[in-house]
Chains A and B, each alone.
Chain A
Amino acid sequence: MTNFLDYLLGGFSNGAVIALMALALVLVWRSTRMINFAQVGQAMFTTYIALTVQQSTGNWLLALVVAMGAGLILGTIVFFLVIRPVKNSDTTGAIIATFGVLIALQAAAGMIWGGDPEGFIPPVSNAGLEFAGRVWPISLYDILVWTVTAALVVGLTLLFTKTSLGLSMRASAFNPEVARLSGVRVNRMLITGWALAGATGAIGGVLIAPVASISPNSFDILLVFAFTAAVIGGLDSLIGAVTFGIGTGLVISLVSGYTDASNAPVVALVLLTVNLLLKPDGVFGHHGARSV
């Protein structure tokens, strides 16, 4: 029972980061109805940038902000360079192109920063807190991760529900033609979606780096988990991505704890398959949202 609780608590931080990556996938899906498989590559690249900032200034917060900015820019660049030219003709082509971007980013990161895993020093202690006579699998750093994730989710929710920009973005996602006829500059909204996704992924990358270390390929597995969470959540739903991001984190923590960490991706794919068989629109998805 103690083990179970430990595994469960330990899964929350991983879950938070998976939720952020899933959110990034959902933001892109909502704007252009496609999956950006380069998302983790972008996050990896911006995390390296954050690492460089942190190593030279020692300032974690500055590193996080720079990574967010880089994420916004990189998201925009990927949209313009790869997605926009192929998008009109063929979405499948664009999805394949995102794999190309992923590989290019990994190669570029390898050339710039080398292929060896590097540690990322957390801004607060990553050691388990002592409480009620035992050490819990929760650290100050975990609490920071949850706080940042929660703040981001609340921020995005407010952006989408309370602001004109958010309304424009939602309208552009639901019905681009009606949005254009209402005066919304839909193309800008699509770019904004990709940019926001880039920044969200960047935050996820910086948050997980102290736990996981960073190398050009270290986030690949995160893509499997985030994709699973985003799809089960309905691809369209921010709340779905967050719920199932954390859920996936808990499941893989339990699987890794009771069996072996190498089983986690398999379990994720099993969950994905079961979901697609039983509820292909996702739990929070609208029916037909994925009829592309």
Chain B
Amino acid sequence: MLETVDLCVSYGAVKALNGMNLVVPRGEVTAVIGANGAGKSTLMRTLAGLVTPQSGKVLFDGVSISGHKPEDIVRNGMALVPEGRSTIPELTVEENLRLGGLWRNKSDRGASKNVVFDLFPILGERASMRADTLSGGERQQLAIGRALMSNPKCLLLDEPSLGLAPLIVTQILELVSRLAKETNLAVLLVEQNAVTALRVATTGVVLNLGEVVKSGPAAEISSDEELRHAYLGY
């Protein structure tokens, strides 16, 4: 599905990603965890086309998409929910959602909207309200909903736990994980909050200073005490 091959990204002299190899299969959640500055957001921004890699490749369905524009990448089936409040507060909930799939035809959009409202019913109830009236958890649902409106084959979630209560994050992520299984969606989740991320993920990848230090089944990673102490800080 989604694959990176020897991906290198630098900001000036700083190497943010140093030869990263990653495979994100369909139907499950893959979690990339690591401390601040490990290169997690850089990875996501590169995959979404906001940052151009120095070398290496991003393969999507076996086709290289390195250097493609973000608007083309999302139209191709890979949607990023960026870090923080990635909704547009001045628009209504309905408009934020509609924005996510404007290029698609009306009936396809309608179908996706039903999927989103089934997954996050609160968005249906608040459809005509401005996004800035929503709570943090509702906004995160809206941001994910907007990404789902593009009917992605691959969903990228950048640090969805940021600023949210752990219980809400777990609820949202469990819904996403179920959606991944049910609709054969590939989900790449990037998190500083390793406990929550590994709970919903099938595979875990530990990133440190732009390099993968360990990858394997999520349960294995979360039970590896040494790894936890060294890279995850708990």
Contact = CB atoms under 8 A, between A and B. Distances in A.
B192 to A, nearest CB: 21
Interface string B81-101: 010001111110001001111
Interface stretch (B71-79, B161-169, B198-206): B71-79
Contact of B82 (A167, A178, A186): A178
B99 A168 contact: yes
Interface string A164-178: 100110110011011
Interface residues on B, range: 20 to 34
A184 interface: yes
B99 A182 contact: yes
B153 interface: no
The SS class assigned to the A binding surface is: helix
Nearest to A186: B71
A5 to B, nearest CB: 39
A178 B149 CA distance: 14
A164 B70 contact: no
Interface of A: 164, 167-168, 170-171, 174-175, 177-186, 286
A177 B48 CA distance: 11
B150 A174 contact: no
A191 to B, nearest CB: 14
B74 A181 contact: yes
25 contacts: A164-B98, A167-B91, A167-B98, A168-B99, A168-B102, A170-B91, A171-B88, A174-B91, A177-B82, A178-B82, A178-B86, A180-B69, A180-B70, A181-B48, A181-B70, A181-B71, A182-B74, A182-B100, A182-B102, A183-B71, A183-B75, A183-B101, A183-B102, A184-B102, A186-B71
Given A171-B88, A179-B99, 8 more contacts: A170-B90, A171-B99, A174-B90, A178-B87, A180-B69, A181-B48, A181-B147, A183-B100
A181 B82 contact: yes
B234 interface: no
A168 B96 CA distance: 10
A185 B91 CA distance: 18
A180 B49 CA distance: 10
B146 interface: yes
B154 interface: no
B175 interface: no
Nearest to A168: B102
B80 interface: yes
Given A164-B102, A168-B99, A175-B88, A183 B150 contact: yes
Contacts of A186: 71
A154 B47 CA distance: 41
Which of A167, A178, A180, A181 is most buried by chain B, counting CB atoms within 10 A of its CB?
Answer: A181
Contacts of A185: 71
Contacts of A179: 88, 99
Contacts of A171: 88, 91, 99
A182 B145 CA distance: 11
Contacts of A175: 88
A172 to B, nearest CB: 10
B219 to A, nearest CB: 32
Nearest to B48: A181
A58 to B, nearest CB: 43
A170 B99 CA distance: 10
A186 to B, nearest CB: 7
Nearest to B86: A178
Given A167-B102, A183-B75, A184-B99, A178 B88 contact: yes
A174 B98 CA distance: 15
A171 B95 CA distance: 9
A179 B100 CA distance: 8
B50 interface: yes
Nearest to B87: A178
Contacts of B146: 182
Which of A179, A183, A184, A286 is most buried by chain B, counting CB atoms within 10 A of its CB?
Answer: A183
Given A167-B99, A181-B79, A184-B99, A174 B71 contact: no
